[in-house]
Structure 1
Amino acid sequence: MSATIDAERFSKYFGGCPIINVPGFTYPVKSFYLEDILSILKSSEENHLDDTVGVSDGEPELTEEDILALDESIEMAWLNDEFDPLLEFVASGGSSQIFNYQHSVTGLTPLMVLAGKGRVSDVCMLLSFGAMCELQAKDGTTALELAERGDQKETAEAIRKHLETSTSNSKEERRLIGAYLAKNSNSVDVRLLEQLLGKICLDSKEGAILVFLPGWDDISKTRERLSINPLFKDASKFLIISLHSMVPSKEQKKVFRRPPPGCRKIILSTNIAETAITIDDVVYVIDSGWMKEKSYDPYSNISTFQSSWISKASAKQREGRAGRCQPGICYHLYSKFRASSLPDFQVPEIKRMPIEELCLQVKLLDPNCKIEGFLQKTLDPPVFDTIRNAILVLQDIGALSLDEKLTELGKKLGSLPVHPVTSKMLIFAILMNCLDPALTLACALDYKDPFTLPMLPSERKKAAAAKAELASLYGGHSDQLAVVAAFDCWKNAKGRGQARFCSKYYISSSTMTMLSGMRRQLEMELVQNGFIPEDVSTCNLNACDPGILHTVLVAGLYPKVGRLLPPQKRGKRAVVETCSGSRVLLHRHSLNFELSLKQTDNHPLIVYDEVTRGDGGTHIRNCTVVGPLPLLMVAKDIAVAPAKMSDNCKGGTENNNNGNDEAGIDETAQEKMDIENKSNQQPEEMIMSSPDNAVTVVVDRWLQFWSKALDIAQLYCLRERLSSAILFKVKHPNGVLPPVLGASMHALACILSYDGLSGISLESVEMLTSMVNATEIGQFAPGKSVGTHKKVSWFHKLHPNYNDFSVPEANGTSILNDPLSQNLLPTPDFRTANPSDPSSPYVRASPNSAYARSAPQSQREHKPFKLGKPSRDQDAAQQQQQEQQEQQEQQQQQQHAQEHNTRKQRNSHKERMAAKQQKPPSGDLSLNGYGLNTYGPYGHRGISLKRPRSVMTGG
């Protein structure tokens, strides 16, 4: 059941299925449109429309320059389809003489030209401005006849509707609305709304007023406008309430309470009040005609959240809000012609949203079908680019093979009630014993942000500070991790001060309750699928580890990665460059907004949930600053190139920062070509032949870092082990990881933990522990001193700021065997109770054979520390034994180096042939391509350390 469903279409789709219509009782509602409202307000002495609608009948005459420009613009549009000059002229004019100007030779008007060319939206604009359909060209044709002659059916229908509507309008109404629309843009006129509210309140004393506005900005502008109006200043006479999804639930409940006698309630609401709720004392409804609608542009792969015109079904719903409990009146702030031109129904979600989940469900229902063919049979098929983008995402995360076959991983991802990329994040979190925060992230991404927006500007500053304090518990600079910290603290405060906590940190209690229920359902799904045991405590041993948690977040948001480019001029904001080359801004509500105002030589890496194009531009609202290590572990492609290309990197970056979006894209493409050319100039075996070689690491063919061959080879091995561990977990949810994979996951967790501790102060770690375990919320008031977030990666040879970075001398130290990574506090815990753990937490991965031959003995083996003080004899004996052992090792190492060089010279040809003939192992389709282009770590194809699409990439 739906109040806005197109029942006839559904009936036809299902072969003429019968329709049962059960009408509901509503009181009569009288409707007024913009023409009527302008006539009502025109008599008011304090009417702001006096300077717009009260124009004199004698308009200024067109100059000779205007006439020549109009003639040229009409000719260009009619003959060459160049419409921009004509549209710019019309938009900048605002005079009916321009709208109705006739070409000096042909007699064509701008309306005739646009109608004949089928420019339906521009025709509607001119008609709303007051362009006359009755005018005829020199040959006697009208705009309607030109549209019909050009087979422009949609344009002709719009002109017919306008003619039918205009016959009922008086000449005075047409003059008023034409003058008004010529001076007012396509947005909510707050001044007109203020005048109408004043008129209603002066003419009647009772009945609540419900105002429908597009979004929060319009609500704020209207509220501020009313607050300075002398009529609405008296709080005892007017109760102004905002109704928005981000408003605290306590404030939202006020709309259902009747005000005291003598007080009138005015509700400023979005379309949240359009259906599902009934406010019984509403008598007057003001419909702006606009709404905020989220849609998806498949061509730019960007989500949009912009104001758009409502549908006729929505207009009917808004009108009905005034007649639920008594007769009412509805004022529509748009013309009768606009009302007749509105679409009948809203565009279905399948045509305005990404469809990765839908495509995966299609393959689960019919594994042998082609996704595009299946979706073309739906009631409203999505466009091809939307389907293609969804398939690419599923292939990148390993849910589908390159030929659209469903993999074992895809089956498991489709069994969870969240986005496939989020599902893969959960599997990764289970392997890392970091499930609890991953559950919160998954539910928050699928539902909404729990933070509320206070009404007063001073309160908004406090809310931003409270959110920043919560984010600092996991290192700061993260909108997503602020949600995780908020939920952890709310859960601990439940029953012991939950209301105080939500009030102090500006958090919606109802949203938290919803997230808690969603988490329980998602947790049960994981248990039923065998991913976790019923006792999930063993899966949360690293839940408070910032380094591991950052990597879990990157796995859930990849490939939505960008780097922050500093502002080029003072007063300007920094932009985020995404992997597609586009440049977007950080939203002012993001915790990282201040980073866009600072001048810095660094290019911080960020991950974000989505890029949204709104009325104020293209923004990223929720994002997190991350280091290079998490990205290197989940990236799709990793390539290496000679380090001597650093000069090119510097120049390319500087050029990119000075250009516009298009120039940036071209330069990025040129930079990629330079990378390929440079890498082809030096043999692959020379780049990765020695662990001390300095190399440039290129991630996904656009991000560049500096490293050593040894370090990137070790990271590459860990990436492959991580991929294998995920696939093993998918095939054997209840099984224990093999010792090699388990030890690799333990090593990876140690490295990530080390990386996280280098980016978060110990004070923040201590504060997190105390805050989660506290019984009183008051001791954590906003403003408490916390550690500053300074990201210093353990991987000291990787540096995102390659403009001024010099590669340090290699010392051959391996982080995998660094004793510091084994003695960090807190230490990542892998216990045998977790089904994905190795049999022993002390099992370590054996070093790679190439690494064992090339690394010094002191790096390959770290002897454990022993307690107790040895005797002098024991000490001397051990020292002598150690010296002898070191001499033997040096001799063996020299001998191995000579043998290695000899074998390399003799067998170089055989090794190349063996690399070319390498074949992927048989088995699961998600392993197809494993090993292709991945000869290494020091083989002949070490230049292309690349993971195929179908293997784990993190989305």
Structure 2
Amino acid sequence: MDVTFFENQPYYPKVGIQGEKIYPIEVVESQLLELELTEPKLTAEASKPTPEPNENATETAEPTHGPEETTLENVEEIAVETTAPTTETAPENYVRVYSRKSKKGIESCTAPRQNQETSKTLENDVPSGNTAPNSVNVDDINIPIALRKNGENISKEDESSLLPNLTLESEVETETSGDNVETELHSEKNGNVETDGDFILIVLKNLIERQSSEGSSKVKVILMSATVDSSLFSKYFGHCPVVTAEGRTHPVTTYFLEDIYDQINYRLASDSPASLANETFSKGQNLQRASVTNSRGKKNLVLSAWGDESLLSEEHCNPHFVPSYYQSFSEQAQKNLKKVNEDVIDYDLIEDLICYIDESCGEGAILVFLPGVFEINHLHDKLAASYQFGGPSSDWLIPLHSSVASTEQKKVFLRPPGNIRKVVIATNIAETSITIDDVIYVIDCGKHKENRYNPQKKLSSMVEDWISQANARQRQGRAGRVKPGICFRLYTRYRFEKLMRPYQVPEMLRMPLVELCLQIKLLCLGFIKSFLSMALEPPKIEAIDSAMSLLYEVGALEGDEELTPLGHHLAKLPVDVLIGKMMVYGAIFGCLSPILSVSAFLSYKSPFVYPKDERQNVERAKLILLNEKQDGPGDVNDVDKQSDHLLMMIAYKRWETILNEKGGKAAQQFCNSYFLSSPVMFMIREMRIQFGTLLADIGLITLPKFNQVDGKRIGSLDRWLSDVSQPFNMYAHHSSILKAILCAGLYPNVAAGEQGIVATALSSLKRSPSSVNSSRTFWFDGRREVHLHPSSINSNTKVFKHPFLVFLEKVETNKIFLRDTSVISPYSILLFGGSINVQHQTGLVIIDGWLKLNAPAQIAVLFKELRLALHSILKELIRKPENVIVLNDEIIKSIINLLLEEGSVPK
């Protein structure tokens, strides 16, 4: 490939992004060595130019280690390139050296597990570490934070006691406070500090300001990151000094869309979805045209008498086409740029570019970034059907996203035969979570899918959007790990420089704030809005109000932002507050083990994997698994399960039983038969133990002494949690009890069919025309029509036993979908739902002003009184769990009997 072709083009950037200063690692080390122990205002200046890449470099990327004797006392921020090794080695060196030299010692050093460990995890097909992560994310691998104190690992319990020592209102021994090294602030997932990182920064900033005002010894904070906005952080910490380090050992050359058009002589067809001319035709232009099929199997439009570009009126031109940027490019490239629809992915261009690389460039794998699973499958099928990548070569077209089974993910690390090119087609999971060493070429479409939360609608939506400049640099950094690489950006230089955001929207501005608000109250950090107003980029008031409203609704807050006993317990559980409440109630009502399983799956990810073209087989396997005869007493074998959550419980119980009785090989065969992910099941096992241990810390259950041994007896402890002879599992086989506890935890996340909605409320709901006078069940969430996600076991159900269901997650794509649903009974809503309004004359009970149940007035009043009594019992139990034997309480017994009776189950 003629690299000079691109470098000689006008507007080719000769330096980095505006405002970005990159210095060799040697310069950074020398700057750090020269720092005094006073407090100078350091401004990093390059003392020597960036060295040229070593032509004799081997094809093994070795990290560069700086000298241990580096003093970082007065450096608050180190900004490094994506692949710079500073964040891997500096914290360890700093802890080691400073602990030897300083009398103060290190207060804490936080560092996420490195990307290499995550890659190793995928290669070995097992979860990393010996315990479950502190938190997990359903969309991606969320790398937990490992705290170190005086150079040694500390436990989660130590961590929970460490953070209060940094809070605003706690007593801090400022004379002996050490340093705090905060490295890899954002887990490298999206180019921003995540919400927990923002929280810690507020605490540290206030601590530093308070100690400064008191004239006490200042805690030193070192922040390290590859992608955050260093100027924003510097300003936040009082214009603290910034040192910037170079990154890659090998250079990566970057080309933009206009360069690619020219080099491969690409012609954007008028009928291409990526062409604005296609949009013009689709609007009904009356043109003579004939359909002609070319060698690639698509139809071109042959216009009579004139060329297609003449149809492009000003309103149909690319609005971001700037002629002055492209004067030196070919006429065809300029025509392409003028009519390209930049919001549409051009799969023909990607195919041509991949073929061009395969034919004209040196060896090395190709990594293609696309926004989602649909796009990945589309490109995969397109390449597999091509002449160049069909046949045996198609085996090395490797999809990579969070739904791909880990056994298939391992293939991305393998080397193909010498005559075959490996092409990895990935979402942003390949941006940071894993490293594929043989990737030399990166194709970046410039798009990703991002989860955003609307506090007004109380709705999460997965939105496809342009990435930020920081994300683009991350993707570029995937190339050239072992030799010089090339990054092809399928967007213009103009878009990159003028239209893309420098950094992604912070997580605090686009995610729910419920758990964060709980932590603020648990640590006595003052009023929630006042505290969050001190954030690096404060969230909107509407988002805070939405989070606080939910906390009041679930009973975690009362009065003037006062934390209730339930709120205290929920704040100590590293899960969504609704899931936490469900676990607490599961322990109280004697069905803990299956509720632990559901809580772990909802907190992590679904165990089901969907191999390509196997969706129908997966859904069939779900139904078989759900309806198989289970061991044990109770009604778990009822035909009216209609619950994704019960399916999760059954899947884990079956897997656990086979693992304990027949061993790992049989458990793996079970997973293969039912399209289950074995690594996910093992992760759920560890998370169940973590959750059970936390409930024991609260006092709701008591762990056997012989099992309290550093988590080394994972198998026996999990078996103990599953033991049906334990009081907390007395009703673990009764689906009516399980569904009631699902309602207790997940409410107010409830949807209803028309039969379960008050007429006046139904008339005001937003609904589609097809839902009127239809025999099919349509669901509403109190505001609008919603739909059951295709992956839900209930999505194809035609007759529902009750017109109510609960869910955890509601997402918006082309429709509003409910994931993981369970049909629940009227008794469950009467006992654990919202406020009750008894209509004595009509015989109706209204819940929260919109849900409707038919019940005699006497029954409704009875349930209302029963609920008040239950509330008092639970409040006392949660306040002093060790003083109450729950299942012996007459009120609890009565409630359980009512639920069993409603489910028509023999007692």
SS of corresponding position for 1:416 = coil
Question: Shift of the alpha carbon at 1:559?
Answer: 0.5
Do the aligned partners of residues 262 and 374 (structure 1) sit closer, same or farther apart at CA in structure 2, a change above 3 Å counting? Answer: same
| Partner residue of 1:397 out of 537, 554, 576 | 554
Gaps of 5+ in 1: 66-92, 101-124, 133-162, 645-694, 759-823, 828-955
Query: 2:803: which partner in 1?
Result: 604
Distance 1:560 1:353 in 2: 17
Structure with max Cα Rg: 1
Distance 1:604 1:55 in 2: 47
SS of corresponding position for 2:558 = coil
Distance 1:413 1:94 in 2: 64
Distance 1:202 1:293 in 2: 35
Do the aligned partners of residues 733 and 381 (structure 1) sit closer, same or farther apart at CA in structure 2, a change above 3 Å counting? Answer: same
Task: Encode CA deviations 1:808-856: one digit per residue, 9 max, x unaligned.
Answer: xxxxxxxxxxxxxxxx2xx4xxxxxxxxxxxxxxxxxxxxxxxxxxxxx
Do the aligned partners of residues 716 and 54 (structure 1) sit closer, same or farther apart at CA in structure 2, a change above 3 Å counting? Answer: closer
Gaps of 5+ in 2: 1-183, 185-224, 287-308, 629-635, 705-720, 756-769
SS of corresponding position for 2:412 = helix
Distance 1:364 1:336 in 2: 48
Query: 1:620: which partner in 2?
Result: 818
SS of corresponding position for 1:127 = coil
Query: 1:705: which partner in 2?
Result: 853
Distance 1:43 1:34 in 2: 11
- Which amino acid is the alignment partner of residue 239 of structure 2? G
Do the aligned partners of residues 25 and 186 (structure 1) sit closer, same or farther apart at CA in structure 2, a change above 3 Å counting? Answer: closer
Query: Is residue 208–residue 264 contact of structure 1 (8 Å, CA) maintained in 2?
Result: yes
Query: Is residue 514–residue 550 contact of structure 2 (8 Å, CA) maintained in 1?
Result: yes
SS of corresponding position for 2:883 = coil
Is residue 556 from structure 1 mapped to residue 725 from structure 2 by the alignment? no
1:118-129 to 2 correspondences below 5 Å: 127-128=319-320
SS of corresponding position for 1:450 = coil
Question: Shift of the alpha carbon at 1:379?
Answer: 0.6
Question: Shift of the alpha carbon at 1:366?
Answer: 2.1
Question: Shift of the alpha carbon at 1:22?
Answer: 4.4
- Which amino acid is the alignment partner of residue 339 of structure 2? A
SS of corresponding position for 2:751 = strand
Task: Encode CA deviations 1:681-735: one digit per residue, 9 max, x unaligned.
Answer: xxxxxxxxxxxxxx11111111112111222222222212221121011111111
Question: Shift of the alpha carbon at 1:171?
Answer: 6.1
Do the aligned partners of residues 168 and 629 (structure 1) sit closer, same or farther apart at CA in structure 2, a change above 3 Å counting? Answer: farther
Is residue 715 from structure 1 mapped to residue 870 from structure 2 by the alignment? no
Query: Is residue 52–residue 180 contact of structure 1 (8 Å, CA) maintained in 2?
Result: no
Query: 2:621: which partner in 1?
Result: 466
Name the structure with the higher helix share: 1
Q: CA RMSD in A?
A: 3.2
Query: 2:250: which partner in 1?
Result: 27
Task: Encode CA deviations 1:883-914: one digit per residue, 9 max, x unaligned.
Answer: xxxxxxxxxxxxxxxxxxxxxxxxxxxxxxxx
Distance 2:227 2:261 in 1: 30
Do the aligned partners of residues 726 and 295 (structure 1) sit closer, same or farther apart at CA in structure 2, a change above 3 Å counting? Answer: same
- Which amino acid is the alignment partner of residue 557 of structure 1? L
Query: 2:647: which partner in 1?
Result: 482
Do the aligned partners of residues 94 and 602 (structure 1) sit closer, same or farther apart at CA in structure 2, a change above 3 Å counting? Answer: farther
Do the aligned partners of residues 358 and 516 (structure 1) sit closer, same or farther apart at CA in structure 2, a change above 3 Å counting? Answer: same
Distance 1:447 1:470 in 2: 21
- Which amino acid is the alignment partner of residue 424 of structure 1? K
Do the aligned partners of residues 528 and 50 (structure 1) sit closer, same or farther apart at CA in structure 2, a change above 3 Å counting? Answer: closer
SS of corresponding position for 1:235 = helix
Question: Shift of the alpha carbon at 1:262?
Answer: 1.1
Distance 1:360 1:601 in 2: 37
1:61-140 to 2 correspondences below 5 Å: 96-99=312-315, 127-128=319-320, 130=321
- Pairs aligned (count): 611
Is residue 36 from structure 1 mapped to residue 259 from structure 2 by the alignment? yes
Task: Encode CA deviations 1:143-178: one digit per residue, 9 max, x unaligned.
Answer: xxxxxxxxxxxxxxxxxxxx7x55776665433211
Task: Encode CA deviations 1:45-87: one digit per residue, 9 max, x unaligned.
Answer: xx7569799999xx99x99x9xxxxxxxxxxxxxxxxxxxxxx
SS of corresponding position for 2:340 = helix
Query: Is residue 34–residue 335 contact of structure 1 (8 Å, CA) maintained in 2?
Result: yes
Query: 1:105: which partner in 2?
Result: none
SS of corresponding position for 2:742 = helix
Distance 1:296 1:701 in 2: 25
Distance 1:640 1:24 in 2: 67
Query: 1:307: which partner in 2?
Result: 464
Query: Is residue 400–residue 410 contact of structure 1 (8 Å, CA) maintained in 2?
Result: yes
Distance 1:332 1:453 in 2: 30
Query: 2:691: which partner in 1?
Result: 522
SS of corresponding position for 1:584 = strand
Do the aligned partners of residues 524 and 331 (structure 1) sit closer, same or farther apart at CA in structure 2, a change above 3 Å counting? Answer: same
Is residue 195 from structure 1 mapped to residue 411 from structure 2 by the alignment? no
- Range moving further from structure 2, 381-390 or 185-194: 185-194
- Which amino acid is the alignment partner of residue 632 of structure 1? L
- Which amino acid is the alignment partner of residue 602 of structure 2? L
Question: TM-score normalized by structure 2?
Answer: 0.63
Do the aligned partners of residues 169 and 297 (structure 1) sit closer, same or farther apart at CA in structure 2, a change above 3 Å counting? Answer: farther
Task: Encode CA deviations 1:306-354: one digit per residue, 9 max, x unaligned.
Answer: 2111111111111121111111222111122221211111111111111
Question: Shift of the alpha carbon at 1:180?
Answer: 2.4
Query: 1:900: which partner in 2?
Result: none
Distance 1:376 1:452 in 2: 42
Question: Shift of the alpha carbon at 1:546?
Answer: 0.5
Distance 1:50 1:612 in 2: 33
1:312-327 to 2 correspondences below 5 Å: 312-327=469-484
Query: 2:879: which partner in 1?
Result: 731
Do the aligned partners of residues 498 and 19 (structure 1) sit closer, same or farther apart at CA in structure 2, a change above 3 Å counting? Answer: farther
Task: Encode CA deviations 1:8-58: one digit per residue, 9 max, x unaligned.
Answer: 3223222234445443333222222222222334367xx7569799999xx
Query: Is residue 586–residue 741 contact of structure 2 (8 Å, CA) maintained in 1?
Result: yes
Question: Shift of the alpha carbon at 1:384?
Answer: 0.7
Question: Shift of the alpha carbon at 1:416?
Answer: 2.1
User: Percent identity at matched positions?
Assistant: 35
Query: 1:531: which partner in 2?
Result: 700
SS of corresponding position for 2:391 = coil
Do the aligned partners of residues 51 and 702 (structure 1) sit closer, same or farther apart at CA in structure 2, a change above 3 Å counting? Answer: closer
Do the aligned partners of residues 493 and 175 (structure 1) sit closer, same or farther apart at CA in structure 2, a change above 3 Å counting? Answer: same
Question: Shift of the alpha carbon at 1:468?
Answer: 2.4
Is residue 577 from structure 1 mapped to residue 780 from structure 2 by the alignment? yes
Query: Is residue 399–residue 411 contact of structure 1 (8 Å, CA) maintained in 2?
Result: yes
Distance 2:455 2:846 in 1: 27
Distance 2:512 2:605 in 1: 17
Query: Is residue 48–residue 191 contact of structure 1 (8 Å, CA) maintained in 2?
Result: no
- Which amino acid is the alignment partner of residue 781 of structure 2? T
Distance 1:472 1:481 in 2: 11
- Which amino acid is the alignment partner of residue 827 of structure 2? L
Query: 2:209: which partner in 1?
Result: none
| Partner residue of 2:398 out of 224, 228, 241 | 241
- Which amino acid is the alignment partner of residue 553 of structure 1? L
Query: Is residue 210–residue 286 contact of structure 1 (8 Å, CA) maintained in 2?
Result: yes
Query: Is residue 32–residue 331 contact of structure 1 (8 Å, CA) maintained in 2?
Result: yes
Query: Is residue 238–residue 264 contact of structure 1 (8 Å, CA) maintained in 2?
Result: no
Do the aligned partners of residues 278 and 488 (structure 1) sit closer, same or farther apart at CA in structure 2, a change above 3 Å counting? Answer: same
Do the aligned partners of residues 98 and 444 (structure 1) sit closer, same or farther apart at CA in structure 2, a change above 3 Å counting? Answer: same
Question: TM-score normalized by structure 1?
Answer: 0.60
Query: 1:816: which partner in 2?
Result: none
SS of corresponding position for 1:306 = strand
Query: 1:348: which partner in 2?
Result: 506
